[in-house]
Amino acid sequence: MGALVASGPAYLYGKAQGRQQAAVAALEASMKAIQKREDIDHEVDRADLIDICIELGGLPERCQLELRRLDPSAKAE
């Protein structure tokens, strides 16, 4: 009977520790995802539009034509 009474608090302590470990793991995963997103944002900010177009699957010539069409200075010509 005494072992049963003593095991109750140990069980609850272990359960609380498990919850805390899960919360820490979820927080670490969130922080890694945010850092990766920031790295991608910085990479995109450094790239020019043609590089982004090609990275998304466009062909270099096609990207140049499409982007030239969108350029406001090209409409004046």
Q: Over the stretch 29-66, which tens digit does the pLDDT of each residue have?
A: 999 999 999 998 888 787 777 788 888 887 878 877 77
- Give every CB contact of residue 53 below 8 A, 6+ residues apart in sequence: 62, 63, 66, 67
Q: Rounded to two decimals, what is the model's pTM?
A: 0.47
DSSP helix/strand/coil, 42: helix
Opening angle at CA 26, ends 22 and 31, nearest 5: 150
The one-letter amino acid at 25: A
d(CA 66, CA 35): 32
DSSP secondary structure code for residue 47 in this structure = S
pLDDT in tens, 7-37: 666 666 677 788 889 999 999 999 999 999 9
